Chains A and B, each alone.
Chain A
Amino acid sequence: MTTSIATKEELKARIEAGIPGASAEVHGDDGHHFEAVVVSPAFAGLSRIAQHRLVYDVFDGELGGRIHALALQTKAE
């Protein structure tokens, strides 16, 4: 998408676009380390692993690279 520094606004927009019904609260201002709380009905009935994978999938290949770290908390509602 872009090779520029990541922003919390970008992460929020991409999570909310990528996961049905999701609302995300993203913190982090250094361009590399972020924290996100993501709430989506799509998480209902999924294990934590599966919930986090849905979010990781939004950033396919960028985690650990352009986005160094994304601390996650996911909730179904």
Chain B
Amino acid sequence: MSDETQNPLRDAIEDAIRTNPVILFMKGTPEQPMCGFSARTAGALQALEAPFAAVDVLPDPRIRQELSALSNWPTIPQLFVNGELVGGCDIVTEMYESGELAQLLGVEQPDEAPQPAGAEAQAAPLSIENRLG
């Protein structure tokens, strides 16, 4: 807490964490993630159909610098729920698989095997009817 008080970027990050109940700082966007870890983390939230805010840290390296200084967490992605750091990809994935993430977010854990991405593929409805006569 020295001369860091005059730091509009850090203030903006703090404000975003405070005002968004679920916020993910990631590389890229949920639609177009630019890193496998960010993709997996966003995918877990999407699989739970939990609404979340997402911030792309790539456009300005200072976002990442300030965020890590603020959270004392070195890597991206970072998920915050109700103003608190939950974790990065490893922790979020572990919590998704155990059902803790759904619990924390107050949503239903999907019945399907917990596979954040790609699990829907085989659920495509069969459109061919079996007509034997």
A binds B: yes
Q: What chain A residues lie within 8 Å of B72 (beta carbons)? A: 53
Q: Is A46 an interface residue (CB 8 A)?
A: no
Chain-B contact segment, one of A12-20, A24-32, A69-77: A69-77
Complex formed: what's the CA distance from A71 to B36 in Å? Answer: 12
How many chain B residues touch A (Cβ–Cβ < 8 Å)?
15
Tell me the interface secondary structure of chain B in the complex.
mixed
Chain A residues 39-77 with CB under 8 Å of chain B are 48-49, 52-53, 56, 61, 63-64, 69, 71-73
Which residue in B85, B89, B95 is a CB contact (below 8 Å) of A71?
Answer: B89
How distant is A61 from chain B, measured CB to nearest CB, in Å?
Answer: 8
User: Measuring CB to CB, which residues of chain A are less than 8 angstroms from any residue of chain B?
Assistant: 48-49, 52-53, 56, 61, 63-64, 69, 71-73
Question: Could you list 25 examples of A-B contacts with CB < 8 Å?
Answer: A48-B91, A48-B94, A48-B95, A49-B73, A49-B85, A49-B86, A49-B87, A49-B91, A52-B87, A52-B88, A53-B72, A53-B73, A56-B74, A56-B75, A61-B74, A63-B74, A63-B75, A64-B74, A64-B76, A69-B37, A69-B75, A71-B89, A71-B90, A72-B90, A73-B94
